[in-house]
Structure 1
């Protein structure tokens, strides 16, 4: 019996990995959660006939002039055909606020659902900044959230929530544990009595572990 040298060689610090987050909810589920809250998101489907990207989106224009919207809300959840989320983006133009300058509850609710469905609890403290229309940018464990006022525009705001591996250790972790590396089924590693489930039809609970 031979033993792989990888099991006995001295660890190399420069090759260390790092804890890295993953999405704990599918695109279809988060789109459904937004619809259940009364936000008229489209169905989770292919962006086009020739495009393997999937998405759902919502757009509401409240007021516009002859050139562009003066007040609007736009949300898009973008992912792939198996339901993995790539990124969530939103844009609010001329948002309605109360006397204290706080974002209208109906629009804030969109961001609350997105952040809480992601189950990354340490991002929930960014909701106070979003409510008060203050810039906030945060990056933790390869996940990032930003809510910023557009440069050169008085009252337009962009929101982004997603994953990115930036440091060398994060890139190594993402590469090593990639779906393509470990979960690509082949005739040799799928037994005859093993039934593959369609990820899009699998209900993923948004209940976060404590």
Structure 2
């Protein structure tokens, strides 16, 4: 026995049911909320489905007083002025009052259909012009701490000592190291001085090195110590793009590099041709860098930062 006709009948019933249900859903969507969606569709595609719905404004009706006056004048014309005696007035009780014209009530004008509200598509603000007052910038931070950097320099051969409170005040901590070869006041004396400063919490502020390298054996030895210390600092801070300044520093040429709110400067002192300074630290000057620095300044946070996961 074949079941093909039953399958065809089942498919037909399914499609008829689907069309009926779809039509009901479509009609509900179009006619809901006072045919809001249908009016929007009409306005979008200019179908003019509601063009004849608007009624013409009615003609202003004649007031009741004007109609009554006109009727009274037509029913009782004024008698002519003659010499004949006037007849006595008729009994008011038996006098028929003139018929009054029906009072016409002004028709209330039909309300025009409400204009369909055009839905504006949501617009992304991703490509809007940045607002200067809110613009930020990428900034650098120290990738190490004061105690860690001091410990690493000690391991590399610079005995800077432990991270300790500075003589400048309670809010400053530092570690430093100084070596001098030659007597005080000797023009051929060589010296090396490094100081690393920061906060009691271990956050770094700046690093400074001052070196005097005369053209003699002591000066060349100090120069090697200086270069080794600079390479160690740039390695520990992990600001590897500043390593491009090592070539100029090795040639004792002035060089300044800035990137992402950090600065490296190496320059010769004006009064001594063999005396040099190196400065490494954070320097945020632009408004964008300052705004970003304020956001990530832990001292301004109202809630403590979470402790690191052990």
TM-score computed with the length of structure 1 as normaliser:
0.76
Matched, 1:47 2:166: yes
Q: Counterparts in 2 of 1:84-163, with a 5 A limit?
A: 84-95=203-214, 104-163=223-282
TM-aligned CA distance change 1:103 to 1:40, over 3 Å: closer
> Would the aligned equivalents of 1:142 and 1:165 in 2 still touch at CA under 8 Å?
yes
Deviation at 1:109, TM superposition (A): 0.4
Match of 1:182 in 2: 301
> Would the aligned equivalents of 2:143 and 2:237 in 1 still touch at CA under 8 Å?
yes
TM-score computed with the length of structure 2 as normaliser:
0.53
Provide Cα deviations, 1:76-102, integer angstroms capped at 9, x if missing partner: 00000000000000000125678xx89
Q: Which moved more, 1:147-156 or 1:80-89?
A: 147-156
Matched residue SS, 1:173: helix
Q: Counterparts in 2 of 1:63-82, with a 5 A limit?
A: 63-66=182-185, 70-82=189-201
Deviation at 1:130, TM superposition (A): 1.4
> Would the aligned equivalents of 1:96 and 1:104 in 2 still touch at CA under 8 Å?
no
TM-aligned CA distance change 1:137 to 1:61, over 3 Å: same
Query: CA-atom RMSD, angstroms?
Result: 2.8
Deviation at 1:28, TM superposition (A): 0.9
Match of 1:208 in 2: none
Deviation at 1:106, TM superposition (A): 2.8
> Would the aligned equivalents of 1:103 and 1:132 in 2 still touch at CA under 8 Å?
no
Match of 2:175 in 1: 56
Matched residue SS, 2:270: coil
Match of 1:13 in 2: 132
TM-aligned CA distance change 1:103 to 1:133, over 3 Å: farther
Structure 1 unpaired stretches of 5+? 1-7, 203-210
> Is the helix fraction higher in 1 or 2?
2
Provide Cα deviations, 1:84-136, integer angstroms capped at 9, x if missing partner: 000000000125678xx898433210000011111111101111111121111
TM-aligned CA distance change 1:76 to 1:50, over 3 Å: closer
Task: State the structure with bigger RCO (CA 8 A, min sep 6), 1 or 2.
Answer: 1
TM-aligned CA distance change 1:133 to 1:14, over 3 Å: same
> Would the aligned equivalents of 1:73 and 1:90 in 2 still touch at CA under 8 Å?
yes
> Would the aligned equivalents of 2:179 and 2:193 in 1 still touch at CA under 8 Å?
yes
Matched residue SS, 1:165: coil
TM-aligned CA distance change 1:137 to 1:103, over 3 Å: farther
Matched residue SS, 1:48: coil
Q: How many residues align?
A: 180
Q: In the aligned structure 2, how far is the partner of 1:169 from the partner of 1:49?
A: 31
> Would the aligned equivalents of 2:142 and 2:237 in 1 still touch at CA under 8 Å?
yes
> Would the aligned equivalents of 1:96 and 1:103 in 2 still touch at CA under 8 Å?
no
Q: In the aligned structure 2, how far is the partner of 1:139 from the partner of 1:181?
A: 26
